[in-house]
């Protein structure tokens, strides 16, 4: 069984030593918990794929302690790189760049590019400093299941497949990082997140590439349609409380308040903020909770169509794909 460690200097040192020995350590980031291994140790990285049941075709994000560490792993000569790193690192932005030979092929799924990010969570940064190596870290969940926003979620999902879980409390952003491909000009969004297209465009001074890549779906191998899903079937609906009243044993994920009295059929409900960022921060936590109550179905209220909700809409759509 995984050991959950409260964050102390001794716990960071123990976790760093475990990483040095090729073990897996789950750690908090500001987005979700990551399942980390020494990115330069191909055998350790192979344990990540095994623990998650992740297809070898899906490359990993490599976490570094500071922007200056990027050039050892990737070609950072694109002018956009320096500007974006200065504006958003440490933070929830992942940049895809041409890889250097030192990065093992298993990390990049055999591809010529590597995804890099400097997380902004103090525990992640302390662990990176103490380990002294870049850390390959996908979200610390079984492949295709909900991402963890608490240490307890990691243990419930991965059980004995992870050695140590550093408990840094609930993740603040709650959705995985924005992924941006800098190997094309203009850069292309591969995964929407907390940092929005307009945030990126304001720094770049130019629009991002529109629509899917000419290189096809393989350009973003992790973006299979089904992802981030609870075990319970999830449907996105407009009039969620009306439909809930007709659906025995359902759970509701809403951002508008329930009618008074609440529908008697509803087994459990999570009423989140009507603001996209606070909603995002609570989304996975709420889905973990509703899922654990084994409802007949999770009815998720449709969210607004505007740009601020892009990342949330993306995750709800993937969670509802069977
Ligand atoms: O917020 C996050 O990004 C979290 C925390 C732990 O940092 N990590 C995370 O990792 O979400 P993961 O493995 O669950 O998602 C990584 C995404 C996948 O969609 C993957 O396909 C994509 O990044 N990716 C990784 N390397 C890539 C590359 N070289 N080219 C294109 N996409 C890449
Ligand atoms: Mg993931």
Q: In the numeric block, which tokens belong to residue 306? A: 């505007």
Any atom of ligand 1 within 6 Å of the Cβ of 258: no
Pocket test for ligand 1, best of 54, 109, 138, 227 (most atoms within 8 A of CB): 138
pLDDT higher at 207 or 215: 207
Is the pLDDT score of 214 beyond 60?
no
Taking residue 108's Cβ as centre, other Cβ atoms within 10 Å add up to: 18
d(CA 255, CA 260): 15
Q: What pLDDT, on the 0 to 100 scale, is given for residue 210?
A: 80
Is the pLDDT score of 293 beyond 60?
yes
Those residues with Cβ within 8 angstroms of residue 10's Cβ, 6 or more apart along the chain or in another chain: none
Q: What is the pLDDT of residues 263-289, one digit of tens each?
A: 888 999 999 999 999 999 999 999 999
Any atom of ligand 1 within 6 Å of the Cβ of 58: yes
98 upstream amide cis, omega within 30 of 0 = no
Q: Name the residue with the closest Cα to ligand 1, atom 3.
A: 177
Angle (CA) 7 8 11, round 5°: 80
What does the radius of gyration of the chain's CA atoms come to, in whole angstroms?
A: 20
Any atom of ligand 1 within 6 Å of the Cβ of 175: no
Q: What pLDDT, on the 0 to 100 scale, is given for residue 224?
A: 58
Q: In the numeric block, which tokens belong to residue 131? A: 């380990």
Confidence of residue 212 (pLDDT cuts 50, 70, 90): low
Q: In the numeric block, which tokens belong to residue 6? A: 């409260």
Taking residue 8's Cβ as centre, other Cβ atoms within 10 Å add up to: 10
User: In the predicted model, what is the mean pLDDT of the chain?
Assistant: 94
| Cα-to-centroid distance, 46 and ligand 1 (Å) | 16
Q: What is the pLDDT of residues 52-62, one digit of tens each?
A: 999 999 999 99
CA distances in angstroms from 296 to 233, 303, 306, listed in the order given: 8, 22, 30
Q: In the numeric block, which tokens belong to residue 16? A: 């760093």
Q: What is the pLDDT of residues 107-138, one digit of tens each?
A: 999 999 999 999 999 999 999 999 999 999 99
Confidence of residue 261 (pLDDT cuts 50, 70, 90): confident
Pairing of strands 93-98, 61-63: unpaired
Confidence of residue 217 (pLDDT cuts 50, 70, 90): very low
**Selection from 178, 198, 203 nearest residue 314 by Cα:** 178
Any atom of ligand 1 within 6 Å of the Cβ of 221: yes
Is the pLDDT score of 315 beyond 50?
yes
Is the pLDDT score of 321 beyond 90?
no
Q: Which atom of ligand 1 is nearest to the CA of 54?
A: 13
Confidence of residue 47 (pLDDT cuts 50, 70, 90): very high
CA 23 to chain CA centroid, nearest Å: 21
Q: What is the pLDDT of residues 177-200, one digit of tens each?
A: 999 999 999 999 999 999 999 999
d(CA 276, CA 255): 10
| Cα-to-centroid distance, 120 and ligand 1 (Å) | 16
């Amino acid at each position: 069984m995984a050991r959950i460690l409260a964050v102390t200097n001794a716990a960071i040192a123990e976790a760093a030593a475990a990483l040095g020995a090729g073990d897996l350590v789950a750690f908090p980031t500001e987005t979700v918990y990551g399942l980390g291994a020494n990115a330069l140790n191909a055998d350790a990285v192979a344990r990540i794929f095994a623990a998650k049941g992740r297809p070898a075709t899906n490359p990993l994000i490599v976490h570094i302690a500071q922007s200056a560490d990027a050039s050892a792993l990737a070609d950072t000569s694109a002018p956009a790189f320096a500007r974006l790193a200065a504006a958003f690192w440490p933070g929830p932005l992942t940049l895809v760049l041409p890889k250097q030979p030192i990065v093992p092929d298993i990390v990049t799924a055999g591809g010529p590019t590597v995804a890099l990010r400097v997380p902004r969570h103090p525990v992640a940064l302390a662990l990176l400093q103490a380990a002294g190596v870049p850390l390959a870290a996908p979200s610390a969940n079984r492949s295709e299941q909900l991402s963890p926003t608490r240490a307890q979620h990691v243990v419930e999902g991965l059980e004995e497949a992870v050695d140590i879980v550093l408990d840094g409390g609930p993740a603040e952003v709650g959705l995985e990082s924005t992924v941006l491909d800098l190997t094309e000009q203009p850069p292309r969004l591969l995964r929407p997140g907390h940092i929005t297209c307009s945030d990126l465009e304001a720094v770049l001074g130019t629009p991002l590439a529109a629509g899917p890549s000419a290189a096809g779906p393989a350009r973003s191998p992790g973006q299979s349609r089904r992802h981030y899903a609870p075990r319970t079937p999830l449907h996105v609906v407009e009039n969620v409380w009306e439909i809930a009243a007709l659906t025995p044993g359902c759970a509701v994920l809403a951002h508008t308040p329930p009618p008074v009295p609440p529908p008697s059929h509803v087994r459990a409900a999570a009423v989140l903020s009507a603001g996209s960022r606070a909603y995002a921060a609570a989304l996975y936590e709420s889905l973990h909770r509703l899922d654990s109550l084994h409802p007949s179905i999770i009815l998720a209220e449709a969210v607004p169509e505007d740009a601020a909700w892009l990342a949330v809409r993306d995750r709800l759509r993937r969670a509802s794909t069977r």
